[in-house]
A = this chain, B = another copy of it.
Amino acid sequence: MGEFDLIERYFKRPTTRAALGVGDDCALLQLAAGSQLAISSDMLVEGRHFFADVDPRTLGHKALAVNLSDLAACGAEPQAFTLALALPEIDEVWLTGFSQGLFALADPYGCELVGGDTTRGPLNICITVLGSVPAPAGRSQALLRSGAHPGDDIYVSGHIGDARLALEALRGKISLPPALLQAAKRRLEEPSPRIKLGLALRGLASAAIDLSDGLVGDLQHLLKASRVGASLNTAAALGRLAARWHVDWASASVDRATALSCVLSGGDDYELLFTAPASARDALAAAAAGSDTPITRIGQIDAAPGLRLLNEAGSELADSFRSFDHFA
């Protein structure tokens, strides 16, 4: 039983009070006339989400970044967060770095730490973020996973796949030149939540989700919520691997199949995947420029169910490529 089945079976129930419950990037509570509260929680466990020897400053950044990314995918403006922290021991150097990394990311957004808990235990970081979304006359402007329509373009922000490339190198499965490893590691350890872009997408995007599990997996969540299918241009997606421009694939021991796997199913990207009608292309280009975030068109929503992975020529990938996660 996977995480999603577990939630579905034991914890997902119809909500009457909340405007939106379990199953999107954020939950939504209608607490005030004209405004909704967006809420998201993420828990990071040592050994699973980060290495024990990770720089505490980058860990503080990442712990908040993965939560802010959920607000971004919802088009919410960050307001506050709580921090619950289980620590095996009190290490002042670690705490100094961790708290600095946390606040360096929180402060520019005016996202305030308002409470939480600390306890002894195996290292575990649980952050809950709260953001606000306008809902004039009860019409929420939140971006949901469920709004994609056939014919909509599919976009991805920034760069994807680099975090997984770094992870595989750190695991010793591939070899990367030092400068490239450094750049990819930064994407793994210090993702940039796309808050500005998320705010700019209100009223433009028809659906959105943040990329945490991987492009193909997260796109399938969006397709399922919207009850549509899609065609994905894998060559366009591969073009968003930032490392692609710097790798001499041969010397780096990274072949195209590995690179494609990182892009399609790498995870830990914390970019936005979103859909919008073709009529919004100019407005989206302006939104991307205004938020200093590149966006790339990588596919199209189809009425026919299912996800089709296409090559440059527009043909479906061969079966061997369809099992897109060759690390699994």
Contact = CB atoms under 8 A, between A and B. Distances in A.
Interface of A: 1, 3, 6-7, 9-11, 13, 15-18, 20-22, 26-27, 29, 31-33, 35, 37, 39-43, 45-49, 79-80, 82-86, 90, 92, 95-96, 98-99, 103, 110, 112-122, 124, 126, 128, 130, 132
A7 B43 contact: no
Contact of A117 (B42, B110, B130, B132): B42
A121 to B, nearest CB: 3
A124 B79 contact: no
Contact of A115 (B3, B21, B35, B110): B21
A115 to B, nearest CB: 4
Given A48-B119, A121-B48, A128-B128, A112 B15 contact: yes
Contact of A39 (B13, B32, B115): B115
Contact of A96 (B10, B39, B120): B10
A312 to B, nearest CB: 37
A27 to B, nearest CB: 3
A11 B113 contact: yes
A97 to B, nearest CB: 10
Contact of A27 (B42, B84, B90, B115): B115
26 contacts: A3-B119, A6-B95, A7-B118, A18-B80, A18-B112, A21-B113, A21-B114, A22-B116, A26-B115, A27-B82, A27-B114, A29-B80, A31-B31, A31-B35, A37-B37, A39-B130, A41-B82, A41-B126, A43-B85, A43-B117, A43-B119, A45-B120, A45-B124, A48-B119, A86-B124, A121-B124
A302 B102 CA distance: 41
Copies of this chain = 2
Contact of A43 (B10, B18, B49, B126): B126
A20 B130 CA distance: 15
Contacts of A90: 1, 6
B126 A45 contact: no
A127 to B, nearest CB: 9
A3 to B, nearest CB: 5
Contacts of A115: 21-22, 26-27, 39-41
Nearest to A124: B124
Nearest to A7: B118
A131 to B, nearest CB: 10
A203 to B, nearest CB: 22
A144 to B, nearest CB: 13
A84 B121 contact: no
